[in-house]
Amino acid sequence: MQKKFTTGLVWLRRDLRLEDNRALTTALEQCQHVHCVFVFDKDILEPLPRRDRRVAFIWASVVELDAALRRRSGKRTSGLIVLHDRACAALPALARELSADAVFAAHDYELGSELRDLAVQTALGLQGTAWRTVKDHVVFERDEILTQLGHPYVVFTPYQRAWLARIESEPLGSGDDAALWQAASQALAERPARHAVAAPSLATLGFEALEPAIPAIPCGAHGASQLLEDFWQRMDSYDQTRNFPSVKGPSYLGVHLRFGTVSIRQLVRLALQRRLQGSAGASVWLSELVWREFYFQVLANFPHVVDAAFKTEYDAITWEQGDHAQELFAAWCEGRTGYPLVDAAMAQINQTGYMHNRLRMVAGSFLVKHLGIDWRWGERYFAEKLNDFDLAANNGGWQWVSSSGCDAQPYFRIFNPVMQSEKFDAQGKFICRYLPQLARLPAKRIHAPWLATASELAQAGVVLGRDYPHPLVDHAAARERTLQRYAVVKKAWP
């Protein structure tokens, strides 16, 4: 087949894998020679703290990807070109250096990324280099799933029905690129001599080496494969285990989806396969993957959600302000609320960069509906801490707990953190893991230590106010304040 281009450059970003990689396979199909590049973008890295697990995860995944490319091509001097520069300038410059006819990349949906890509596209156009982007990070994007009236969906359940119907009518295929790779392996070009040096070290990038995730979650496509193999054995029980933070229920693939070390299409294919076999766990897990797509299309079609409530009337809510609000927020961030499940959840995210999904809802709801803090404060904190931070999902989750988003929790539904604790961590195993000072309390008291008797506290060696804080707020009183706070949107509720 006649190739469209002589030399192509594949810019890998959130697709750090070889298998089922749409940008890479498109380049191999259309180009005689293909180079691959990853840019440690200074515009992204410079604002980050020097101890960032996500950078450690990316770095390890890039090193693995470089080795995988060299193995696949059979050329020791092939592999990944790795730059530490500002992408907007570095990509066009590299394309010129390589005499690339076209640059290939996967779509990126966040506003900052779209502006960056537009700048790169403009610069490439001025020098006569084609810009080709493809869909990779989601199954269906932007306006591919619409209502019968041609509008984006704003309620999840009908979106999911439409999504599943589209999958049935447009199967994903096998995702097997073996034939392409066999024919195209020789197309992977050798790196120019000045790019033959391995990826810069974390220290060179200005970061400290850290364990990337929970506990030492494996990095790269190989790590994703290990996790997926493990989850495959547990998938059928996912519906029964997913809400219990002390149980190995989740797939732990969130960070791999975030950086594309696993293909979303591969996960959907596997979930559909088990779902067709009658697996309730696979059906629920597939639903979670569709929620991810739902939030991506919300972000794409309603970009105002980045800074404001999806339901604009919710921006009329008056949140706590001033020094008192800052003190409450600091106590929440540091796990000093006096509600053990909330505090254990915050300890988990602070120590590992991960938080169980059920706890994201509990901790988020507590910040907004118990402490009266603007959901955007919590959203920013999670964005800083979560290994698997994705703007669309993070924003969607926070707007869900604040009742301001698409298909969100009703404003009058307020999680009782003690009841959530008793239901989802009945024996206090998760709490004890992250709040060991409470481990000797009776199980019935560990969810609300302030209700323990003096004798129970003494036997457990716990002094409230010293070993563990008193509750910041009373649940019943906080609930009443929240209902008053949300009164401004009561008339808008359907």
- pTM of this structure: 0.94
What per-residue confidence (pLDDT) applies to 129? 98
pLDDT tens-digit series, residues 119-134: 999 999 999 999 999 9
Residue 491: how many CB atoms within 10 A of its CB? 7
Catalytic residues: 288, 291, 319, 357, 375, 398
pLDDT in tens, 320-352: 999 999 999 999 999 999 999 999 999 999 999
Burial of 383 (0-12, 13-18, 19+ CB in 10 A): middle
Overall average pLDDT of the 279-300 stretch? 97
Answer yes or no: is pLDDT of 101 > 50: yes
Pairing of strands 31-41, 80-85: parallel
For residue 475, the model assigns a pLDDT of: 97
pLDDT at 87 over 60: yes
Find how far residue 338's CA is from the centre of its chain.
28
User: Which tokens in the block code for residue 305?
Assistant: 């959600």
Q: What is the dihedral of CA 448, 454, 455, 458, to 10 degrees?
A: 80
Q: What local confidence, expressed as pLDDT, does residue 78 receive?
A: 81
- With a CB cutoff of 8 Å and minimum separation 6, the contacts of 154 are 298, 310, 406, 407
Q: Residue 126 CB: number of other CB atoms within 10 A?
A: 9
Mean pLDDT score, 65-70: 93
Predicted confidence band of residue 304 (pLDDT cuts 50, 70, 90): very high
pLDDT at 118: 97
What would the pLDDT profile of 447-472 be if each residue is shown by its tens digit? 999 999 999 999 999 999 999 999 99
In order of 231, 326, 402, the CA distances from 322 in angstroms are: 46, 6, 20
Closest residue by Cα to residue 167 from 267, 17, 300, 254: 267
Residue 494 has pLDDT above 80, yes or no: no
DSSP code at position 77: T
Mean pLDDT confidence for 35-50: 95
Output the six-digit token pair for 178: 């073996």
- pLDDT of 183 reads 74
Measured in degrees and rounded to the nearest 5, phi and psi for residue 39 equal -115, 120
Q: What is the mean pLDDT of the chain?
A: 93
The packing angle between helices 357-369 and 375-385, to 10°, is 150
Task: State the pLDDT at residue 466.
Answer: 97
The answer to whether residue 368 scores a pLDDT higher than 80 is yes
Residue 213: predicted pLDDT: 43
pLDDT of res. 279: 98
% of the chain surpassing 90 pLDDT: 85
pLDDT at 214 over 50: no
